Chains A and B, each alone.
Chain A
Amino acid sequence: MISTSAPANKAVESNLVIGKKAKVPKSVKNTRRTSLIVSYILLVVLTIIWLYPILWIFLNSIRVEYNSSNQLIGIVVSHYFPKSIGLENFRRLFTETLFPRWFLNTLMVSSVSFVLSTLLTLSVAYVMSKLKFSARKKFLSIAIILGLFPGFMSMIAIYYILKALQLTQTLFALILVYSAGAGLGFYVAKGFFDIIPNSLLESARLDGATNSQIFVKIILPLSKPIIIYTALLAFIGPWMDFIFARVILGETNRELHTVAVGLYYMIYGERVDSNVFTMFTAGCVVVAVPIVTLFLSMQRYYIEGVTAGAVKG
């Protein structure tokens, strides 16, 4: 599906161009124009709706307003645009909270776990797609069934298993949790490997290549999009996950938190200071900028993965 998308698209467009060349009556032209204008208006309205909350976060992060007793107003206020701006929230975030620590924690966890989970996901996907062995079908159906259990169901048990291993409330435990399940998330990558023609592998096998050589020298070089897709999601996961990190790290060990847990407790913890909302948004901006940039620069691969996954069902 992926490889054919571009030419197919072109074909549709060229088809439409042919349609355009035919003589079009004026009235049709006019309705076409109005419908285009309506579409643009709709798109602009939707864009405003979609950007409204995102812009609000950013504006809050640079909002530096003081009340009459010269205290910084950090709570949610009713005006959308700040009256005065500055970087005070960022300064406080980096000097008065553990945010730098949370950021490094998350970076560490996601760097290790994305390597591990990418390796696991790709190896399972390759085996399931290209190697034939007796337990293959069984493995596939077990994987489907396991995917149906709600993740939280096992979370408590994982918490106790890690506790028995005396691993709770460490970042290592978090890395294990994020990577260990990766073997089950092989569907999209498998779908990608499925479209690599088997004849390619067979001819390599005739030349005396072993299965491991085929994987490393033929499959992997052909699979750049799916490797990037898998790695991208695995890397971003720890920056987005809130539930697992919260259960495993707990509220009290603030210096072990990841950004999601740390920032959540900043505004919804047991000791809440409601005056930290602008600082919270500053933290959000610091997290969002690298993640969103990374994501947007890789969006081509993400879209390919999503589309392939959808078509495969």
Chain B
Amino acid sequence: MSQISERKNEKSSETSRFLSFFKNLGIKTKNAFLKFGNRFKDGSIGTKLSHFIMGSGNLYHKQIAKGLIYLALQIAFLFIFITSPEVNSTPLGFKSIINFITLGTEEGDIFNPTDNSMLMLLFGVIVFGLIGLFLAAYSSNIKSSYKADLDKRKGKKPTSFKQDIESLLDERFHIAMLTPAIIGILIFTILPTIFMILIAFTNFDSQHPAGQVLFDWVGLKNFADIFSGTGEISVRFGPVLGWTLIWAFFATSTNYIGGILLALLINKKGIKLKKLWRTVFILTIALPQFISLLAMRNLLSEYGPINAMLLELGITDAPISFLSNAESAWTARITIIVINIWIGVPYTMLMTSGILMNVPTELYEAAQIDGATKRQAFFNITIPYILFITTPYLITSFIGNITSFNVIYLLTGGGPGVPGYKAGETDLLVTWLYKLTIDESEYNIGSVIAILTFIITASATLISYRRSKSFKEEDAFQ
């Protein structure tokens, strides 16, 4: 009972939580400034100097190595920032901030190259990132110096460089372990993601190739274009989104039901050689998809053995073009969903098999005592248990199917084509986005589609997160 009322409270308090988030944010910034001022007033001369020359506090406390590292950081950052060295004839430094706003002004002629707007945008993002990192180093420099002050006042010796390194292996082990991963994620995930989001607000497309024609900020124009109802992208967006959702629904549900049925079949009491049967299906997972999918594509071609077999058996009189029938998009669509069963069912089967082995035996024992038959036990224990455990997976796999690329791209390449448009009948949002950017160089529209895809998957995840949370609460009930 109390849980129900708690949950109600949770919902009504959501808006107030949202407000208090900003309130907290305000308090936090205020505190940070107060702390900053306090340290400056309270700190030693070294700490005071640290506010201007990084590392001076550490040097003052004879933490030579640490101090020199901070100093080197400051010099390196200021050097790059002020001199703005040119990388690929685009400055990287304070000039990048100006370039980030203008995205280039030099139109260029035979003698002078055009400003590379794309690199300017990219370097702008990088420089903002570097400033952020520098500020973090700056604040840690003051913190470190102030800590040494406090240690000294307490009569302790400030930590030596050796001790600092050693602490990285113990109480600050998480920093040592996370740093390489975070650097990788910053450069190869966060930076590109921010960059691509920004491109959605520019006119960087096939008419404005980077380094040849300048491109500029256009605000929300690309988003407006997609929803305007005219133009190629806008006309095709609805159908592609619709098919993406239909595909995700059927791909998920067929694999889920098929996988559970297959797992029940293999794990049925009395079936021998369970491992052998399972291995047959695992083969599909082990085989690289580009092999199995390209094989399927050829197997189903008009001259392939499947059509030959159908003709021989008299089922059809003319070869069926399963994947490229331009007259009916649904031929290709249904074929893809069927092939996807071949690809995906083994995966669900494996997972469900694992769950089947984990059904708590007490449940069966209790059922037996109550006089339930095997059939009743199966429908009232086994099935609900599987559904209960796998529902979160169902939602993750729905999201996975929205962004599933290989099956569509390798089987049909998005075709059959729609006359006059580049997005074919079986194109998903992601394959369309891939074509738009890689083949057509329509980067801005590609980015908009990526953002919209993100919004769809993110909201689906939000729902799944909620549900799994409610599941956990239910779990607590049992």
Q: Which residues of A contact B (CB under 8 A)?
A: 1, 4-5, 8-9, 11-12, 15-16, 19, 32, 36, 39-40, 42-43, 46-47, 49-51, 53-54, 56-57, 75-80, 119-120, 123-124, 126-127, 131, 133, 136, 139, 144-146, 148-158, 160-161, 164, 176-177, 179-184, 210-213, 215, 236, 239-240, 242-243, 247, 260, 263-264, 267-268, 277, 280-281, 284, 287-288, 291-292, 295-296, 299, 302-304, 306-307, 310-311, 313
Contact = CB atoms under 8 A, between A and B. Distances in A.
A153 B433 contact: yes
Contacts of B189: 146, 154, 180-181, 184
A164 B122 contact: yes
Q: Is chain B's interface secondary structure helix, strand, loop, or mixed overall?
A: helix
11 contacts: A54-B292, A80-B309, A127-B174, A144-B461, A146-B185, A150-B454, A160-B210, A180-B189, A183-B185, A184-B189, A263-B294
B3 interface: no
A268 B406 CA distance: 15
Contacts of A123: 177-178, 180-181
Interface in B168-186: 169-171, 173-174, 176-178, 180-182, 184-185
A35 to B, nearest CB: 8
B457 interface: yes
B308 A146 contact: no
A142 B277 CA distance: 41
A139 B268 CA distance: 43
Contacts of B114: none
Residue in B119, B292, B357 whose Cβ sees the most chain A Cβ within 10 Å: B357
Contact of A182 (B184, B270, B285, B403): B184
A4 B357 CA distance: 9
| Main SS class of interface, A | helix
Contact of A211 (B173, B299, B365, B393): B173
B70 interface: no
Contacts of B476: none
Contacts of A263: 290-291, 294
Contacts of B299: 53, 56
Interface stretch (B14-22, B144-152, B347-355): B347-355
Interface string B374-409: 100000000000000110110010010001011001
Contacts of B280: 47, 50-51
Interface size class of B (residues with CB under 8 A): 35 or more
Contact of B281 (A40, A50, A264, A267): A50
B291 A311 contact: no
Contacts of B262: 46
6 A-B pairs closest in CB distance: A183-B181, A307-B354, A313-B392, A157-B192, A154-B192, A78-B308
A179 B305 contact: no
B358 A184 contact: no
A4 B433 CA distance: 44
B287 A292 contact: yes
A151 B453 CA distance: 11
A161 B303 CA distance: 44
Given A8-B357, A77-B305, A164-B122, 4 more contacts: A8-B358, A152-B405, A156-B196, A242-B290
A281 B295 CA distance: 8
B351 A310 contact: yes
A281 B292 CA distance: 10
Contacts of B277: 43, 47
A305 to B, nearest CB: 10
A105 to B, nearest CB: 15
Contacts of A8: 357-361
Of the candidates B182, B270, B281, B347, the one having the most CB atoms from chain A within 10 angstroms of its own CB is B270
Nearest to B261: A42
Contacts of B182: 183
Contacts of A146: 185, 189-190, 193
A161 B365 CA distance: 61
Interface in B284-317: 284-292, 294-296, 298-299, 301, 303-305, 307-309
B290 A306 contact: no
A179 B184 contact: yes
A25 to B, nearest CB: 13
Max chain B Cβ within 10 angstroms of own Cβ: one of A4, A120, A153, A303: A153
A183 B305 CA distance: 45
A215 B177 CA distance: 11
B187 interface: yes
Contacts, number: 289
Given A15-B365, A181-B185, A212 B173 contact: yes
Contacts of A184: 185, 189
A262 to B, nearest CB: 10
Nearest to A239: B288
Interface in B402-461: 403, 405-406, 409-410, 430, 433-434, 437-438, 443, 446-447, 450, 453-454, 457-458, 461
Contacts of A76: 298, 301, 303-304
B188 interface: yes
B181 A182 contact: yes
A127 B304 contact: no
B282 interface: yes
B454 A148 contact: yes
Contacts of A158: 188, 192
Given A43-B265, A310-B351, A12 B361 contact: yes
B273 to A, nearest CB: 9
Contact of A80 (B169, B185, B305): B305
A57 B299 CA distance: 9
B301 A12 contact: no
A120 to B, nearest CB: 5
Contacts of A79: 305, 308
Interface string B3-36: 0000000000000000000000000000000000
B443 A53 contact: no
Given A39-B265, A296-B286, A307-B350, A215 B173 contact: yes
Contacts of A153: 192-193, 196, 433, 447, 450, 453-454
B187 A210 contact: no
A153 B403 CA distance: 11
Nearest to B468: A313
Contact of A156 (B298, B403, B405, B438): B438
A8 B46 CA distance: 65
B354 A310 contact: yes
A302 B446 CA distance: 35
Nearest to A44: B277
B169 A42 contact: no
Given A11-B361, A154-B193, A78 B350 contact: no
Contact of B393 (A32, A179, A310): A310
Nearest to B179: A123
Contacts of A150: 403, 430, 433, 450, 453-454, 457
Interface centre among A5, A80, A313 (most CB of B within 10 A): A313
B454 A164 contact: no
Given A39-B268, A50-B281, A181-B184, A124 B351 contact: no
